[in-house]
Amino acid sequence: MTSRLATSLCGVSLKNPVLAASGTFAYGVELGDLVDLSALGGIVVKGLSREPMDGNPPPRVWETEAGMINSIGLQNIGVRAFVAEKLPQLRGAGTAIFANVFGYAVEDYVEVVRVLEDAEGIAAYELNVSCPNTKHGGIFFSSDPALLAEVISAVRKIVRRPLIVKLSPNVARIEPLAKAAEEAGADALSLVNTFVALAIDPRSRKPRLGAGFGGLSGPAIKPIAVRMVYEAARSVKIPVVGLGGISNGLDAAEFLIAGASAVEVGTANFWDPSAPVRIARELDDFLQQEGIEHINKLVGTLKL
């Protein structure tokens, strides 16, 4: 790969604009024997909570015709164990590390970030706001601009690192949420998260997943994700990171043309852990073929 791909996101230098998405690449260190981590644009680690979480009952994953539905339930070792056990190994990975953070109340997010702020080796945060706010009757942070602004503002007050907010696609319009995130202090947005979905076993007449509903990801959602990235990028001045069904370099190019400054690769990692490296290489080949001197020249060039 060449310098054509070198870029930055919220002041974080990236060798290339292709990151491994949260929840699809474990904590990164587990895949070090399979993938050259230093060749990645960055790693967004598995979502971190205040306390360890066991996740949802199995089965947790169901393969669909053009993707997968997962109901992992945000299983993780908790932020303190991550800092003590995983982060020391990640510091030598040679790539940017983004900590994905989630919670069920504003103070959950604040506490997780407070712990991470004292740790070295993290480039930026990605707030997963696709969780229900249990203190407000289960209303999702991601669907209410006021709740979204509340959690971002609270975290913004205590962080020195860049703050990326990961938006959910399960809303009527993405623009009000994107604007609310920007106004509350987000340095960038990432979208889309998974679509709420349901798979049924016709013989048992029961859900395929132990928790019932799950999140649809993979190639099936890409055209909708590209559209939502375009809408979000048009409505804000901060950078947008695009994800949703990216399997090859041309997929990544679509998101960049739609307005994304970088992309994340998720579901493809399940069948090919080296997918982000391959996709970056394919993206570089595309730039060369098209005579585009730098990746930034591609961003936001959609002709509508």
- If you write DSSP's letter for every residue of the chain in order, what string do you get? --GGG-EEETTEEESSSEEEPTTSSTTSGGGTTTS-GGGSSEEEPPPB-SS-B--PPSP-EEEETTEEEE-----B--HHHIIIIIHHHHTTSSSEEEEEE--SSHHHHHHHHHHHHTSSS--EEEEE--SEEGGGTTEEGGG-HHHHHHHHHHHHTT--S-EEEE--S-SS-SHHHHHHHHHHT-SEEEE--PEEE--EETTTTEESSTTS-EEEESGGGHHHHHHHHHHHHHH-SS-EEEESS--SHHHHHHHHHHT-SEEEE-THHHH-TTHHHHHHHHHHHHHHHHT-SSGGGTTT----
* Under 8 Å between Cβ of 41 and 97: no
> Is position 131 annotated as part of the catalytic site?
yes
- Annotated active-site residue in 37, 131, 189, 221: 131
Distance CA 133, CA 141 (A): 6
Residue from 46, 64, 76 nearest 266 by CA: 46
Distance CA 182, CA 233 (A): 11
* Under 8 Å between Cβ of 97 and 42: yes
Q: Which residues are catalytic?
A: 131
